[in-house]
Structure 1
């Protein structure tokens, strides 16, 4: 594996590890995550915890080995195994939010949007770290799919809770504008041979867009009285 890709893979796994640590605070006290292991296979959150730990361990060890140029065949196998676990993990995460008590979350759009997020941001990061053509293609296609799904998603949210959805207008608008800017960035990157700065800015923009969308999503938390 080229040095740049190895560095990129290791950097991304470090970011994921940081995300896992931050994510443990969803349960109030991080140590409660250990109790959730008792419900693996039955609880969506338990499944998420186990899959995230497996992905982090496999991907982290594989990426570190490739970075250090040690046991490359084994590390490649670990990375590919991590990729398989990652696909299952991506599907498992949205299942946590399919709550009967939260109408704005319980829809197929939640699953679709959460799967598109790593494709949008991950594609841009992959392009930045060396997988340029495929990364940009995945990112821009995911953005276009996101735009196609947006009208139906907004209609579903409005029918579930119009007032709460309207309150997130600024966040959803910011997401759409930033994603559109990301598409422009991809076009510029495709035309320029040396565009590392533009590529980095594009990655930052699309990740910021998805963060804005995720803030809006969590603000849609509502319980019937």
Structure 2
């Protein structure tokens, strides 16, 4: 939840005039940005209360209900975020691949972090499966981007290549972690590598707008 809170703070920089941020709540149900804000607030509240209850060892029915409700809201939130980028004016963003790749990002990075913080087997499984799915989708994604704007897509070749290499290294790291069950250092490095891979992919994605970052 601390990482999520940090992400929300960073996300406020998307807003041109932060003092008018509340105006974005007026279009809930119609505006993807408004939906994202409401869902992020709901997830933070439910997840924070649930995590606090678990931290205090109060696994009451109410606490468990909050945790499950937070998980449901979190899934809806993950789907809502990429809808913001389905802009008619940005052909390289407006595709189902944008939604798929953005949903895979928290599975790849989140799975690795979950493994690092204790949910080792399930976290590694989720992360590696998400990486493999991303590799399967990559050819179609690249073809879609090239058909939308070949020059702009070609300019991101180094970022996409770096992402692919780092994700492949992440898979190798997962295999090593599976064999060396006590290797915390390898597990931490694997998490860093796959998160760096997704950051590279996200930089390439934002560079597909109009002006490179």
Tell me the TM-score range normalised by the shorter chain: over 0.9
**8 A contact 1:168–1:219 mirrored in 2:** yes
**8 A contact 1:136–1:186 mirrored in 2:** yes
The CA deviation string for residues 192-216 of structure 1, in whole angstroms up to 9 with x for no partner, is 1201111111111101100110010
**8 A contact 1:62–1:79 mirrored in 2:** yes
Distance 1:213 1:172 in 2: 6
- Name the counterpart of 2:198: 210
Distance 1:220 1:72 in 2: 47
1:53-202 equivalences in 2 (<5 Å) = 53-70=41-58, 72-202=60-190
Change (3 A) 1:58 1:99: same
Distance 2:18 2:120 in 1: 37
Distance 2:17 2:148 in 1: 31
Distance 2:125 2:105 in 1: 14
Q: Unpaired runs of 5+ in structure 1?
A: 1-12
Deviation at 1:65, TM superposition (A): 2.1
The CA deviation string for residues 152-202 of structure 1, in whole angstroms up to 9 with x for no partner, is 101110111111111111111110011001000000000012011111111
Distance 2:207 2:113 in 1: 27
Deviation at 1:223, TM superposition (A): 9.2
**8 A contact 1:128–1:200 mirrored in 2:** yes
Greater displacement, 136-145 / 64-73: 64-73
Output the aligned Cα RMSD.
2.0
Distance 2:63 2:18 in 1: 30
Distance 1:148 1:47 in 2: 30
Deviation at 1:224, TM superposition (A): 15
The CA deviation string for residues 99-137 of structure 1, in whole angstroms up to 9 with x for no partner, is 000000000000000000011011111111111111111
TM-score (norm 2): 0.96
The CA deviation string for residues 82-105 of structure 1, in whole angstroms up to 9 with x for no partner, is 100001001111110000000000
Distance 1:162 1:112 in 2: 21
**8 A contact 1:104–1:222 mirrored in 2:** no
The CA deviation string for residues 39-60 of structure 1, in whole angstroms up to 9 with x for no partner, is 0000000000000111111111
Q: Unpaired runs of 5+ in structure 2?
A: none
The CA deviation string for residues 19-67 of structure 1, in whole angstroms up to 9 with x for no partner, is 0111011011223221111100000000000001111111112112211
> What number of residue pairs does the alignment pair up?
213
SS in 1 for 2:18: coil
Change (3 A) 1:104 1:202: same
